Structure formats: C-alpha cells, structure tokens
Structure 1
Amino acid sequence: MLIVGLFFICGIGLIVLAAVETWGALDPRTDFKVRERFELILECVGLLTIAVASLELGQTVLEEEVQRSVNISSPTRVRRFLSRFLIVVVVSLSIECLIGVFQFMHGKPEYLLHSAAIGLAAAAILATWGIFIRMNVSAEELEPHAMREVVAEDKEVEG
C-alpha cells in the first residue's frame, strides 16, 4: 500500500511541477522568446507523461495487488497485469520519442538518433508484448476456470 501511495504522491507532485512550469512558459511578464516557451511547454508535456504513467502504475498496483488480492499464478492475471504495465511504458516512450523529435529537429539534430532509439524501443516492446499475448492464449485455453474466476472477480471489484 505504501508503494501505491508513493506512486500517487509522485504523480501529483509532477503535475504540480508541470503546472508551475507551464505558467512560467506562458506568463506574459517574462521575456522568453517563442522558441524558449515552446521548449518549456514540451518539457511540461514530458513531466505530465511521467505523472500519468506514475498515476496509472499506482492504480494498476492498487487494483491488482490490493483490491483483487491477486494470485499471480493464473495466465489471465499475469497477462492482464503485464498488459496494463506495458501500455503505460509503450505510451510513455512513444510520447517521449515525439517530444525528443520536436525538441531536436530544429535545435540539435545530432540527438535525433537518441529519439529514434526510444521510438524503436517502444516498437520492440509493443511487438514482443503482442507475441506474449498470442502465445498466452493457448495457456488460457488450458485453464478455462481461471478465466471465469478473473471475470467474476472483475465484476465484483468494479461493481
């Protein structure tokens, strides 16, 4: 439960930092050039991306470990937990890749390869995740009762 709380505190803290940075970037009293404001706002998008990832991971841990008191032996549960985690990772990496491309496209094009590497990592994770899910289907067919238990548990938690 402590880890869940820390995820939520970190997420909210990052949102507050992003709000302060956004105000600094948009404040008409500052003498920033448009390019500087743009870069500050892109940094805020990065902060918000990490904040959302932190909040989502906190929610995932809360739902899977605390509310459902998960027994991780079921292939369905493992797939669901990993899927929720990997969604956060892939989306976060993809957004960071886009932010990097926008930042480095005009200012420091030599760093575009770093952004491309992040994008390739996100694509590789997505592809291997798809392979994992495809291979996991046969394991789920061997344990149909586990799938029924997970569905019943979902209805109980959600409703």
Structure 2
Amino acid sequence: MKTVSRIFQLLHALIALFFACAAIMLVFIAARTGLLALSSGVDTAAAQQIIEAIGLLSSAVVALQIAETITEEEVIRDADISAPTRVRRFLSRFFVVIIVALAIEGLVASFKAIHEAPDQLPYAAALIAGVGVLLAAWGVFIRLNRYAEELEPEAMAEVKSEDQKVRRS
C-alpha cells in the first residue's frame, strides 16, 4: 500500500509541475501581449490588449495557486484528503483562487464587451453575478465550518502542526 501511495504522490507532483509550467507560459504570453500593446501605440486597441494580458495573468495566478495547493496538500504533507478538516481547508483555498480569478475575468469580459461587442455584456454580467453567488456560498461554507471545527479540535491541532512542516520546507 505504501508503494501505491508513493505513486499517487509522484503523480500529484507531476500534475503540480504541469500547472506551474502552464502558469509560466501564460505569464510569457501575457508579457508578449503587453509588449505588443505598448509597441502599437497608446490607443483603445492597446488598452484592450493590456486588459487581455491582465486576464492571462489572472489565469496564470490560478494555475500557480493550484500547483501550490496540490504540492502542499498532496506532496509535502502527504495528507489523507478524506479527513474533514483537510477537505474544508483544501476547498477554502480552492474557492479563494477561483473566486478571485473569475472576478478578474468578469471585469476583463465587461471591459471587452463594452468596447468591442455590447451584445456580450449580459454574459459578462452573468459571470460577475456567478462570482457573487460563489462568494456568498463560500461565506456560508466558512460559517458552517466554524461549527464543525469546534466538534473536532484534535483534527485542527493536527492540521496546524502540519502547517509548521510546510513552513519549514
């Protein structure tokens, strides 16, 4: 069973590496997009390209955060993600990344729709409304977790001790 667990740990490390590589590629593409925008002059088209670069950078942040989460939770900690406290922490980290990224994408989509295709504005608005719903759901999730954590203080203590392991490595 230890061998199977080690194989899964290596697969998680490989997946995290792929997410990190994707983030680096997105950063380079965003930088290239930004440089092309600056070289084309200072106008509305350049502003649209800069907004597109911001969207690419937000996607890069998401990819990098997912890589970090996978590395910390599955490789460094080698934790059993089925433990309720760990599931709550993992989901909470994931919600933060997704909500921030979708909010930025919603703003980018709004700017693009206003300047390029006003008929796409309802879709951008729906994305931003969806972010609001996710944010509210995350708030409920955190509120309900407070009660669950009070029921299992020993699990929280164990997870906090693992945080020290992550900080030292």
- The two structures have a TM-score, normalised by structure 2, of 0.87
Cα deviation for residue 137 of structure 1 reads 2.1
Deviations 1:4-32 (A, max 9, x none): 010000000000111111111111xx4x5
Amino acid of the structure 2 residue aligned with 1:4:
A
The 2-side partners of 1:61 and 1:46 are apart by 23
The 2-side partners of 1:43 and 1:116 are apart by 18
Aligned length: 156
Structure 1 match to 2:28: 16
Indicate which of 42, 47, 52 corresponds to 2:61: 52
The 1-side partners of 2:82 and 2:61 are apart by 28
Do the aligned residues in 2 keep the contact of 1:79 with 1:136 (CA within 8 Å)?
yes
Cα deviation for residue 106 of structure 1 reads 3.1
Deviations 1:78-136 (A, max 9, x none): 11101111111000110011111112223322211111111011111111111122222
The 1-side partners of 2:34 and 2:26 are apart by 12
- Calculate percent identity across the aligned residue pairs: 44
CA RMSD of the aligned region, Å?
A: 1.4
1:97 matched to 2:106: yes
Structure 2 match to 1:42: 51
The 2-side partners of 1:107 and 1:73 are apart by 46
Q: Name stretches of at least 5 consecutive residues in structure 2 with no aligned partner.
A: 1-12
Q: Name stretches of at least 5 consecutive residues in structure 1 with no aligned partner.
A: none
